[in-house]
């Protein structure tokens, strides 16, 4: 190893070290082949299993999209009906899991969601069978069937976990899931105790479609790392939730809405955007993306829904008006144009949530309710050619130091 100076930067892609180049943050490092989703960041295109997100958002619903993401193809009518039945039959939680959520009623819901997923895994007999099989290196047809059954359970149960935490946090009685409501409508029903307005249910369903998968961001990579050890699906999803709750990943839509509320007046947008171009200036939440160097297609879709929502229910806090004014300034500012910084889906998604009465802290849990299908699909795909992750670090410290007894230091 050479004695060259270690050069570490906090931004940028490749860092130099005595051992050679380091790809900081593993940016653009490939970890596997996938057929689940693809992104063209330069053109602003997102596909699930080869289907454009615009078509799925227009013609499909979350149940059908989650089947597509999980099983790799669009279902027939009878397959979709049976899949919906299985999801509805799996919405309830183990009583011990409910008590875990109750005990964490005053905690942030992302902490409760992590704990609830882990608890449910501890009591799922299918999960225990799969764990025993994996311990002896067995993962064949029977085990794969178990894994897909567990995956469906996780998709079905996460909305219940989030809704139950909301009810406990407000000191309200639980609202049990109904099997005559869609995935999105049932979620709002369990949260608020009444059948939701159809437009609100459509908005949740649309949000779930748009966030179902996005290749390998931090939370999905975390799920890969955990499952590569042959840990179970519940533990891998709990770990993914832990990664998602970081403000650099899943919390941007909450911060965007908070910013809009603080600004309050669309006329302040130009001054804010100008300030954001200066060193040490404010960060515009929901602007820019690690992959997209064009307008996020999901943002365009949810912007249109948000426009429809405020057209029906009003915009008393000027959230849509402020966001529209900021977007106008961003799109016409050379600083953002040159750096290819455009609004992403977080820029628009929190507005409708706020007006539906969803508290800020539940924005990211709803993200998890959607993304769980992507997590489990990637887990199952990786298990088809599993290898434990074991990266290396370049040691840049001294060697062979002489130990000094404590009374001589």
The residue extents of the domains of the chain are 61-246+372-384, 252-356
Contacts of 380 (CB under 8 A, 6+ apart): 70, 144, 147, 148, 151
- Give dist(CA 232, CA 296) in Å, integer: 33
Which is the catalytic residue, given 213, 224, 346, 378? 346
- Give dist(CA 88, CA 311) in Å, integer: 33
Which is the catalytic residue, given 289, 296, 315, 378? 289
Coil/strand/helix, residue 333:
coil
What pLDDT is recorded for position 253? 82
For domain 252-356, the CATH class is mainly alpha
Task: Please determine, for residue 6, whether its predicted confidence score (pLDDT) is greater than 50.
Answer: no
Task: Please determine, for residue 16, whether its predicted confidence score (pLDDT) is greater than 80.
Answer: no
pLDDT tens per residue across span 204-254: 999 999 999 999 999 999 999 999 999 999 999 999 999 999 887 887 888
Average pLDDT on 263-278 reads 94
Contact 146, 131 (CB under 8 A): no
- Is pTM beyond 0.85 here? yes
Is residue 232 annotated as part of the catalytic site, yes or no?
no
Q: What is the CATH number of domain 61-246+372-384?
A: 1.10.580.10
Is residue 28 annotated as part of the catalytic site, yes or no?
no
> What are the Cα distances from residue 20, in Å, to 6, 14, 31, 41?
10, 10, 20, 28
């Amino acid at each position: 190893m050479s004695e060259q100076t270690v050069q570490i930067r906090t931004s940028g892609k490749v860092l130099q070290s005595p051992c050679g180049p380091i790809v900081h943050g593993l940016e653009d490092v490939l970890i596997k082949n996938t057929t689940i989703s693809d992104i063209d960041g330069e053109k602003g295109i997102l596909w699930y299993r080869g289907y454009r997100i615009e078509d799925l958002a227009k013609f499909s619903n979350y149940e059908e999209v989650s089947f597509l993401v999980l099983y790799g193809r669009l279902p027939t009518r009878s397959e979709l009906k049976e899949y919906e039945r299985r999801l509805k039959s799996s919405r309830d939680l183990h009583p011990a899991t409910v008590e875990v959520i109750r005990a964490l009623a005053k905690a942030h819901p992302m902490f409760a969601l992590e704990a609830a997923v882990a608890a449910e895994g501890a009591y799922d007999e299918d999960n225990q069978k799969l764990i025993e099989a994996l311990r002896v290196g067995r993962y064949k047809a029977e085990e794969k069937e178990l894994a897909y059954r567990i995956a469906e359970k996780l998709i079905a149960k996460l909305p219940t976990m989030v809704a139950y935490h909301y009810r406990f946090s407000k000191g309200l009685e639980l609202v049990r899931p109904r099997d005559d409501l869609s995935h999105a409508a049932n979620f709002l029903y369990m949260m608020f105790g009444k059948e939701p307005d159809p437009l609100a249910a459509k908005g949740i369903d649309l949000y779930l479609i748009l966030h179902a998968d996005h290749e390998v961001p931090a939370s999905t990579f975390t799920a890969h790392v955990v499952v590569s050890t042959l840990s179970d699906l519940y533990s891998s999803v709990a770990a993914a939730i832990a990664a998602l709750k970081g403000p650099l990943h899943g919390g941007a839509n909450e911060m965007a809405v908070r910013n809009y509320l603080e600004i309050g007046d669309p006329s302040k947008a130009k001054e804010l955007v100008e300030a954001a171009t200066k060193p040490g200036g404010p960060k515009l939440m929901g602007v820019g993306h690690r992959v997209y160097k064009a307008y996020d297609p999901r943002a365009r879709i949810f912007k249109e829904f948000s426009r429809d929502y405020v057209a029906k229910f009003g915009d008393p806090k000027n959230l849509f008006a402020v966001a529209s004014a900021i977007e106008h300034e961003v799109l016409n500012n050379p600083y953002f144009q040159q750096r290819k910084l455009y609004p992403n889906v977080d820029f628009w998604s929190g507005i409708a949530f706020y007006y539906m009465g969803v508290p800020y802290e539940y924005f990211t849990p709803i993200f998890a309710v959607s993304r769980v299908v992507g997590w489990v699909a990637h887990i199952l795909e990786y298990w088809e050619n599993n290898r434990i992750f074991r990266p290396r670090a370049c040691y840049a410290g001294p060697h062979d130091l002489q130990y000094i007894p404590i009374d001589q230091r």
